């Protein structure tokens, strides 16, 4: 049986690293690409103990020739595009970079795969941010997009580029509309990691306060290692399609904060300060998801919800700070 080859673009990030681990366990030959493979430390791959098992290349998704070269070199059966500027908050400060790295990058990748005329399957990382506010109704795959950030606008454009290439050229191309999914591999700029890391430092007496913006926003938080399995499942289907990946359970950021401090035997009210500078120009107040299609067609269902995610992140953070 021929070993399948996978190319993960954005392999250094949270999802890319967990996906690489999953595919290696399934017997794939895994190639990872990032903007500068020579300079990146690939600390997440090291953390998971798989750095030496992943072949690494440099690629710039904004450069069509660079994309074409890495595809010709790797000859992948499956491509997972997890690259691009990944912070919603930062997208307000870098709207052009965000749009180009996400939307133009996806278009270059789709066109390069089409140009090579090989039956390569492609997964694109889309986002729940595309939906914006859904007026209190759980989003389904047919819910209209109403993006409320430069990041969401870019992800929406990329989503429709994937759908258009699937319909126009018969490509096996799909997008995963992933709701929030967390792990200890999240960078510190993500609010969940900031909360967990700072709460642990407060418990250790190293700092006194955690400063946050809008605590009333509500999100669906899942466990990242489960979500990468859904990505893989999408590319194993006979027919390509798009799927919402979520737990179906929504909690406020305040509940996330309270759970983290409770785990450490503290009352969050004593340690959290409001910082208006951290409030975004526009934001989604309530994020609701209906992941029934993924369960029905992929056989995928989330097994970890918010409190599980907080518990595991706290445990790993405490171990890392010792």
Mean pLDDT value across the chain: 94
Out of 127, 128, 175, 183, the active site residue is 127
pLDDT score for 309: 97
Examine the pLDDT at 249 and tell me if it is beyond 70: yes
Please answer whether residues 107 and 37 qualify as being in contact, where contact means their C-beta atoms are separated by less than 8 angstroms: no
* Banded model confidence at residue 258, pLDDT cuts 50, 70, 90: very high
Q: Of the listed 18, 28, 101, 129, which one is catalytic?
A: 129
Is 36 a residue whose pLDDT tops 90? no
Instruction: Select which of 18, 28, 123, 151 is catalytic.
Output: 151
Beta-sheet pairing, 210-212 with 121-127: unpaired
Give pLDDT, residue 263.
Answer: 96
Q: Look up 216 and say whether it is catalytic.
A: no
Per-residue pLDDT of 92-140, as tens digits, reads 999 999 999 999 999 999 999 999 999 999 999 999 999 998 888 999 9
Give residue 261's pLDDT band: very low, low, confident or very high (50, 70, 90).
very high
pLDDT of res. 39: 76
Sign for the pseudo-dihedral over CA of 121, 185, 263, 320:
positive
Task: Return the pLDDT at 283.
Answer: 77
Residue 84 has pLDDT above 90, yes or no: no
pLDDT in tens, 187-234: 888 999 999 999 999 999 999 999 999 999 999 999 999 999 999 999
Catalytic site includes residue 151? yes
Torsion of Cα atoms, 123 then 230 then 142 then 220, to 10°? -120
Which has the closest alpha carbon to 175: 131, 124, 129, 224? 124
With a cut of 90, say whether residue 308 has pLDDT above it.
Answer: yes
Check pLDDT > 80 for residue 67. yes
Please name the residues in contact with 243: beta carbons below 8 A apart, sequence gap of 6 or more: 141, 174, 176, 177, 230, 234, 291, 293, 294, 297, 298
pLDDT at 317: 94
Domains assigned to the chain:
5-181+222-245 (3.40.50.720), 183-219+249-288+304-321 (3.90.25.10)
pLDDT (0 to 100) of residue 1? 61
State what percent of residues in the chain have pLDDT above 90.
86
């Amino acid at each position: 049986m021929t070993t399948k080859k996978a190319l993960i673009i954005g392999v250094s990030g949270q999802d890319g690293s967990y996906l690489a681990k999953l595919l290696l366990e399934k017997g794939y030959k895994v190639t990872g690409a990032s903007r500068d493979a020579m300079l990146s430390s690939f600390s997440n791959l090291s953390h998971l103990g798989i750095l030496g098992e992943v072949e690494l290349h440099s690629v710039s998704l904004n450069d069509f020739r660079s994309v074409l070269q890495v595809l010709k070199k790797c000859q992948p059966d499956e491509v997972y595009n997890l690259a691009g500027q990944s912070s919603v908050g930062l997208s307000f400060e870098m709207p052009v970079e965000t749009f180009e790295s996400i939307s133009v990058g996806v278009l270059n990748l789709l066109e390069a795969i089409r140009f090579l005329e090989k039956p390569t399957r492609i997964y694109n990382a889309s986002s729940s941010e595309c939906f914006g506010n859904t007026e209190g109704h759980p989003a389904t795959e047919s819910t209209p997009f109403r993006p409320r950030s430069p990041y969401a606008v870019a992800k929406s454009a990329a989503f429709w580029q994937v759908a258009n290439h699937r319909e126009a050229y018969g490509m096996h191309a799909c997008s995963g509309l992933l709701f929030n999914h967390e792990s200890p591999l999240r960078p510190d700029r993500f609010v969940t990691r900031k909360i967990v890391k700072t709460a642990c430092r407060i418990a250790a007496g190293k700092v006194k306060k955690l400063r946050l913006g809008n605590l009333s926003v509500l999100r669906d938080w899942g466990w990242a290692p489960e979500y990468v399995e859904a990505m893989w499942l999408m590319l194993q289907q006979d027919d390509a399609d798009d799927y919402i990946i979520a737990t179906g359970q929504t909690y406020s950021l305040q509940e996330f904060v309270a759970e983290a401090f409770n785990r450490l035997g503290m009352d969050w009210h004593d340690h959290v300060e409001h910082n208006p500078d951290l409030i975004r120009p526009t934001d989604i107040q309530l994020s609701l998801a209906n992941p029934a299609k993924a369960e029905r067609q992929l056989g995928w269902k989330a097994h970890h919800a918010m409190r599980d995610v907080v518990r595991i992140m706290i445990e790993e953070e405490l171990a890392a700070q010792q």
